Amino acid sequence: MKQLKLMSAMASLLVTVTVSAQKAELKDLTNDYYAVKNAMVAEDGAAAKEYAGKFLNIMQAVPVNSMSTAERKVWKKHFPEMKTAGEAISRTADISEQREHLNALSVALFAVLKEFNVQDNPIYYQYCPMKKSYWLSKEKEIKNPYYGDKMLKCGSVKDMIK
């Protein structure tokens, strides 16, 4: 009986550690996404390129085996789109070209984060009506990454993860 309780406790601890690792990786992934988006707001293509590379590295490290069946299904559905958009952004420092891929990255990442809901802070799903495109932000205030200084305040909050 003691052995069974010990094994159960160890299994529980392993699950907790794995889920914690998954949560940490998804938080890091979100932070690197924010860095990409913020670099676009600042019109800094070189920084967006660098952070997109970091985003891709973190994305590869997310522990898929510890996901529930529903989480794994969402991850596998959106992983290719996140990877393709992240790679496209990481290949160039041309801000205009990078911005062409931000919507795909944002839509896919938002779907993943909504399913996993591991964030400690709200995530705002924001929309640019001129570009017909989305981005994620940790602030409610609009800072449009598609037009930088030209239309910094253009957009609205369409959804939110609490």
> What value does the mean pLDDT take over residues 17-27?
69
Q: Of 14 and 104, which is predicted with more confidence?
A: 104
Q: Which residue's entry shows tokens 């929309």?
A: 127
E strand or H helix at 103: helix 95-116
Residue 28 has pLDDT above 60, yes or no: yes
Give pLDDT tens digits for 112-142.
Answer: 999 988 778 999 999 999 999 999 999 999 9
Q: How confident is the model at residue 108 (pLDDT cuts 50, 70, 90)?
A: very high
Output the pLDDT for position 3. 66
pTM of the model: 0.86
Q: How far apart are CA 5 and CA 10, in angstroms?
A: 9
For residues 112 and 85, the answer to whether their CB atoms sit within 8 Å is no
Report the C-alpha dihedral over residues 87, 88, 94, 96, rounded to 10 degrees: -140
Give pLDDT tens digits for 40-95.
Answer: 999 999 999 999 999 999 999 999 988 999 999 999 999 999 999 999 999 999 99
Q: Which domains does the chain have, with CATH numbers?
A: 2-118 (1.20.120.10)
